[in-house]
Structure 1
Amino acid sequence: MLRKLLTLLALAATLSVSACAKEPEMNTPTAENTDYIVLGMGCFWGAEKRMSEIPGVIDVESGYAGGDAENAGYYDVLGLEKEIRYGKTDQRNHAEVVKVTFDPQTVDLETILIHFWENHDPTQGDRQGNDVGTNYRSAIYTHNDAQTAIAKQTEAAYQTALTQAGYSKITTEIAPLHNYITAEEYHQNYLQKNPNGYCGLGGTGVKYPGDGKSPMPKSEPSAPRLQGSDLNQTRQLVVFEAEDCAFCKQFKAEILDDWQTDVDVTTTLNPNPPEGWTLEKSLFATPTIVLFEDGKEVSRFTGYNGDKARFWKWIGFRLLTPEQRRIAFEQGTEQAFTGSHLDEKRPGTFVDPITGAALFRSDTKFESGSGWPSFFNPVEGAITEHEDFSHGMHRIEVRSASSGIHLGHVFNDGPPPSHKRYCINGNVLKFVPDPPENNANNTE
């Protein structure tokens, strides 16, 4: 009996060892069968996110590399860059980089480098979008001759595609890895820890040549560039978006879908300005909303994460007149009997001049003799009320619920049925008359 028990235990141990011995055969990457490459694509936050999405990539770590210092942190790099800018040192600074560890059995180095080329602009020199400095240079840091050869081969191929698309020479540094330093913990997986971060642009929009390993669709190498001749030359808003950008979708749902504006608005997935038009500087995040006048950028709004008030104030300062801005954003008041719409009696709706949201219907307007347009009821949900103790008085301020701009005040001396008097600055109202068929119905 004892011998039988020992035999069973030995068999169980053998099966256990055999099961363990089979685990490495299940394509589970280990340190011995992985590889890595160190890449500089500007700010490492967006680079980390982009490269981690590649199938076969095991880990992406933010770091610093390529500089003279053997040990440095984020503020050391920023401080040295400032000294370089003012000519106080000739020391070479580190670049912000990501160390991409991958399984060569699942993804090869060429595919990773194709993603590298397509996911940033390698022609910008010591910058990437709004991030300027040698620490934001484009770079490929290799650890053997084979990697260097593949890096240079892919560079030559992508240069051909960029040249055909009208881009200048690639400025990417290709060199052996030197003084790599892991970045601080708070920089690791930054956009996962900070979901309100921006959606990085996908580079130049130029596809790596060939039908092989480019992640861009074969049938559509890049989003078509807008033609300036097709847009409003006087004033045009362009919303620059990116695929799979949650903040772009949020901006569309919260702003674009219901926005009633006289300004022409268009969207694009191409990060370049409309043909024949100019941007002040490259874009670095999406969504970016740019206001063009006469084909030139005059203002931009970068990034959106639900901050509607900030957006409406930005666009309001660009669309409103100085007098309207004084009222809307500085709680100003027009002089009595000088504002717009005092005598407007047509059927229609008074709307927010920025958002186009309905505020008051004309059938709630009455002659108060005060010198300002007066209403006894707003459109439901159109306004918000706030206590106002300015000028030594206690009043109730009225603001637009959609844009937050100041409209006027409400008093308890109006006609029935509400007995309210919404005393509104006419210059921050826009009147939209009812369509003719509605007017006809109203007169029957």
Structure 2
Amino acid sequence: MVSIGRILLGGMLIAMPMHALADVESIVLGMGCFWGAEKRMSEIPGVIDVESGYAGGDVETVSYREVLDLEAARRRGKTDLRNHAEVIRVRFDPDRVSLETVLKKFWENHDPTQGDRQGNDRGSNYRSAIYTSDDAQQAVAIATREAYQQALSAAGHGQITTEIAPLRHYNRAEDDHQDYLKKNPNGYCGLGGTGVAFPGGMTKTVPPPLTADRLNFARQLIVFEAEDCPFCKRFRAEVLDHWTSDLPIATTLNPRPPTDWTLEKSLFATPTVVLFEQGREVSRYTGYQGDKDRFWKWLGFRILTPKQQRIAFEEGTEPAFTGSHLDEKRPGVFVDPITGAPLFRSDAKFNSGTGWPSFFNPVEGAITLHEDNSHGMRRMEVRSASSGIHLGHRFDDGPPPSGKRYCINGNVLSFVPDAE
């Protein structure tokens, strides 16, 4: 007769043979927010279950709200109680994966040098931690820490701040925190830590940082991505694969900036798009969920002049005969000033006498039309299909063959002459 035991896996009580239960080991790890940590560590072959929880604090039992309230009280100096860290309990089969391998992935998948924070999450509840169940685990934890510190130091990183201590006061987190990123796929992907591999190699090597001499020092966009990040793939498919802007852009799987370039703060999610000028970060766009217009608006506010911004984002109008390109007659194409996407060919341009560049046809698929009843008029607004910015209006008093007049603000057009 086989003895049956039960184990809590993913919030469900599962029946397992007692001999199988005896072979399951567990360790409790703090890597910042437990949502991303749970997802990362659950992907390791041989890991049976990952559970979110709280551990390492002075209070025996806590809830998510109580952890946040205690941290707020600590910041105000109202208590000196040690708070719990957000943690994950990793249960694994030691016949399939060793504790050392689990800890290698722990070190590689977060930044253990940040003290009481991880990325943008700040507070002692986001500290890096390894909570062990016996002396053997403690010894492996310390040995892997020393090995990883050597690799970090060689790569120019600071000292590891990870707390290594016996487990105490573990509390399972509420059900809505379990498998959070599976239930909420719009959550951000993690960045994979510092990009420094644990000595002896890792399953997926992180490439070195981008080489600065291959980039544009004056103004450069860099997209920081991560492997297995669905939002990165969506950004690539919807934006990067159609990139026509004259602003140079590069991608990297390494979360560190190019050599001698600087980030204002650590990266905490992917994709993160950073605009560098003179080798320094001036702005960033974090996360992507199919919101192309929002991304282009962010970029537009960084590269357009105030006059252009008023037209593009506030539906402004330049005074007649004051805008750019009114007398431009060379063969070429007028493009979106942010995306670089073609809008109008110069052979569709005509002199309307109105004081604004006028066209009788747009490039196919380049614009969208929207009813505009502002200022007591009924007009058809013209927007760029690629960025969503306001361009001008369409009227029905144009020349053949279309009979339409696309009256466009010249200041939100860029001109690219045809190659001779």
TM over 0.5: yes
Cα displacement string for residues 328-369 of structure 1 (whole angstroms, at most 9, x for unaligned residues): 000000000000111111111111111111111111111111
Question: Deviation of residue 274 (structure 1)?
Answer: 1.1
The structure 2 residue matched to 1:372, chosen from 356, 366, 376, is 356
SS in 2 for 1:396: strand
Residue 283 (structure 1) aligned with residue 271 (structure 2): no
28, 43, 59: which one aligns with 1:53:
43
Q: CA deviation at 1:210?
A: 2.5
Question: How far apart in 2 are the matches of 1:118 and 1:271?
Answer: 12
User: What secondary structure is seen at the aligned counterpart in 2 of 1:339?
Assistant: coil
Residue aligning to 1:5: none
1:411 pairs, out of 388, 391, 395, with 395
Say which SS state the counterpart of residue 257 (structure 1) adopts: helix
- Is 1:195 the counterpart of 2:185 in the alignment? yes
Equivalent residue, structure 2, for 1:171: 161
The answer for the alignment partner of 1:107 in structure 2 is: 97
Which residue matches 1:215?
203
Name the larger-Rg structure. 1
Q: Is the 8 A contact 1:115 1:215 kept in 2?
A: no
The answer for the alignment partner of 2:107 in structure 1 is: 117
Q: How does 1:73-92 map to 2 (within 5 A)?
A: 73-92=63-82
Measured in 1, the distance between the counterparts of 2:42 and 2:372 equals 52
Secondary structure of the corresponding residue to residue 239 of structure 2: helix
In structure 2, the partner of 1:65 is 55
Within 5 Å, give how 1:151-166 maps onto structure 2: 151-166=141-156
Question: In 2, distance between residues paired with 1:29 and 1:236?
Answer: 58
Cα deviation digits, residues 272-302 of structure 1 (max 9, x gap): 1111111110011111110011111100011
How far is 1:27 from its partner? Answer: 10
1:338 pairs with 2:328: no
TM-aligned CA distance change 1:429 to 1:29, over 3 Å:
farther
- Aligned to 1:197, what secondary structure does the other structure show? coil
Q: Is the 8 A contact 2:245 2:341 kept in 1?
A: no
Residues 216, 411 of structure 1: alpha-carbon distance in 2 compared, 3 angstrom cutoff: closer
1:132 paired residue number: 122
More helix by share: 1
- Partner Cα distance (2:228, 2:294) in 1: 24
List alignment gaps of at least 5 residues for structure 1. 1-16, 21-25, 437-444
**Amino acid aligned to 1:422:** Y
Contact 1:374 1:422 in 2 (8 A): yes
- 8 Å CA contact retained: 2:103, 2:144: yes
The answer as to whether partners of 1:118 and 1:206 remain within 8 angstroms in 2 is yes
Q: Does 1:307 align with 2:295?
A: no
Selected match of 1:392 from 376, 384, 394: 376
Q: Which amino acid aligns with 2:167?
A: L
For the Cα contact (< 8 Å) 1:29–1:103, is it kept in 2?
Answer: no
Distance 1:156 1:171 in 2: 12
Cα distance in 1, alignment partners of residues 388 and 98 from structure 2 = 53
Contact 1:126/1:133, CA 8 A, preserved across alignment: yes
2:12 — aligned with what?
none
Asked if the contact 1:227/1:276 (under 8 Å) is kept, the reply is no
Which deviates the most, 302-311 or 71-80?
71-80
**1:296 and 2:280 are equivalent in the alignment:** yes
Q: CA deviation at 1:33?
A: 2.0
For 1:381 and 1:232, locate their aligned partners in 2 and report how far apart those are by CA, in whole Å: 31
Say if 1:278 and 1:105 are closer, same or farther in 2 by CA, change over 3 A.
Answer: same
Q: Which amino acid aligns with 1:314?
A: W
> 1:194, 1:52 → 2: CA distance?
16
CA displacement at 1:305 relative to structure 2: 2.2
Q: Separation in 1 of the partners of 2:261 and 2:76?
A: 33
Q: What is the TM-score normalised by the length of structure 2? A: 0.94
Partner of 2:407: 423
AA at the equivalent of 1:57:
V
Aligned amino acid, residue 315 of structure 2: Q
**Separation in 2, partners of 1:332, 1:401:** 18
- Whole-angstrom distance in 2 between the partners of 1:27 and 1:343: 83
Percent identical pairs in the alignment equals 72
CA distance in 2, matches of 1:205, 1:28: 40
2:373 maps to 1:383: no
Is contact 1:339-1:425 (8 Å) kept?
A: yes
CA distance in 2, matches of 1:83, 1:355: 47
1:208-244 alpha-carbon deviations (Å, 9 max, x no partner): 1125xx3344xxxx31122334322211111111222
Task: Rate the CA distance shift 1:294–1:279 in 2: closer, same or farther, 3 A.
Answer: same
What is the CA deviation profile of residues 140-174 of structure 1, one whole-angstrom value per residue up to 9, with x for unaligned ones?
Answer: 01111111111111111111111111111110000
**Long gaps (5+) in structure 2:** 5-15
Describe the SS at the equivalent of 2:106.
Answer: helix
Q: Given residue 215 of structure 1, which amino acid in structure 2 is its aligned partner? A: T
| Secondary structure of residue in 1 paired with 2:330 | coil
Which residue is 1:35 aligned to? 25
Deviation string, structure 1 residues 117-142 (Cα, Å, up to 9, x no partner): 11111111011111111111000011
- What is the distance in 2 between the residues matched to 1:259 and 1:235? 16
Instruction: Give the letter for the 2:172 counterpart.
Output: T
Do the aligned partners of residues 216 and 417 (structure 1) sit closer, same or farther apart at CA in structure 2, a change above 3 Å counting? closer
Q: How many residues align?
A: 408
User: How many angstroms apart in 2 are the aligned matches of 1:177 and 1:28?
Assistant: 24
CA distance in 1, matches of 2:363, 2:213: 40
Distance 1:96 1:86 in 2: 20
Find the partner of 1:206 among 196, 199, 202: 196
Distance 1:358 1:378 in 2: 9
Letter in 1 for 2:72: K
1:247 aligned partner, one-letter code: F
Amino acid at match of 1:423: C
